[in-house]
Amino acid sequence: MNRHLISAADLSRDDALLVLDTADELARISDRPIKKLPTLRGRTVVNLFFEDSTRTRISFEAAAKRLSADVINFSAKGSSVAKGESLKDTALTLEAMGADAVVIRHNASGAPHRLAEWVRGSVINAGDGAHEHPTQALLDAFTIRRRFGRSGGSGTGPPGAGPGRGGALDGLRVTIVGDILHSRVARSNVLLLHTLGAEVLLVAPPTLLPVAVDAWPCSVGYDLDAALPKSDVVMMLRLQQERMNAAFFPSVREYSRRYGLDSARMAQLPERAIVMHPGPMNRGVEIAAGVADSPRSTVVEQVANGVSVRMAVLYLLLGGAEAEQ
């Protein structure tokens, strides 16, 4: 793997499968009374969050602590950033403190890329603007693989020491629905799922599709009802109204009527199909409460799997495999 994880495009098929297989091995720690490994003892991981977050920040913090790393949580609110300190000055401060890895979430697309030019440690993109969120795509792929019985792992030896290569997602049909325009999750998922062999379809109103979507490795549609019977996975995206500065659709009610997933629409899905959502959810808008809480929903699994996947990313980027040899 590369030293940084800034885009899902940074991952080759082998890289992505290595992360997923390592996460499979590390997930077994969750079943132990003591959920810790000494792998990254003495390493320092900084969570550098310029945007509010609950799931992602806590997930990275839990992942680092389960690998015995020291964790520093940095929030822009109440820091020198609020006094006008630049990202570069913040980066140089972290560099002086000896950070081995910096997990960054920023409202500006490209911020993790710039940060990687200023620090010697590994940089992990935890979401930059409307650009990318690669670890979310990895945990989504991990969840899909487990639900469809394609997980690998040898079941022997320490994580990262050569687990059996698990299956990819070849041939699975994934439909991503909703606010594609403002979604960093959508872009990362399209890139990673394509790399792993899945067929991706984006379904959204024309106003909520990016201008350059034709260059993405996926197909595009506008009719959710036509797409559902052919989908193995349906991933619903949140309407990010906080990022909208114009009227992209007539009303929330109209959007929900055409692009919301309710019980009637879920009945159109094939028997084995699953429903995903990266969270946080707008219940009653893009997804009905009954759908979100159904056995076919993976929302809670995605949160749990996020810790295992982020453990795998930290483990591999910070040289956990080498440390155990």
pLDDT tens-digit profile of 227-256? 999 999 999 998 875 555 555 676 888 888
Which of 1.10.10.10, 1.20.58.110, 3.40.50.1370, 3.90.1580.10 would CATH assign to domain 136-298? Answer: 3.40.50.1370
Q: Is the per-residue pLDDT at 87 higher than 50? A: yes
Residue of 8, 35, 29, 30 whose CA lies nearest to 19: 8
Q: Is the per-residue pLDDT at 59 higher than 80? A: yes
Helices (H), 164-236: 184-195, 224-227
* pLDDT given at position 15: 96
Strand-pairing partners, residue 283, are 287
Instruction: Tell me which CATH homologous superfamily contains domain 8-132+304-318.
Output: Aspartate/ornithine carbamoyltransferase (3.40.50.1370)
Structure tokens at 251: 């009303």
Beta sheet of 233-236, edge-to-edge order: 219-221, 199-203, 173-177, 233-236, 274-276
Mean pLDDT across the chain: 88
Structure tokens at 266: 């879920």
* pLDDT given at position 164: 37
Structure confidence by residue, pLDDT tens digits, 164-191: 345 789 999 999 999 999 899 999 999 9
Confidence of residue 156 (pLDDT cuts 50, 70, 90): very low
* pLDDT given at position 162: 36
Catalytic residue positions, numbered? 55-56, 83, 105, 133
Q: What is the largest CA-CA distance in the chain?
A: 59
pTM equals: 0.90
How many whole angstroms separate alpha carbon 144 and alpha carbon 151?
A: 9
The identity of residue 71, as a single letter, is V
* pLDDT given at position 28: 87
Least confident of 22-31, 256-265, 272-281: 22-31
The identity of residue 284, as a single letter, is G
Pairing of the two strands 199-203 and 274-276: unpaired
**For the chain, what are the domain ranges?**
8-132+304-318, 136-298
Contacts (Cβ under 8 Å, ≥6 apart) of 14: none
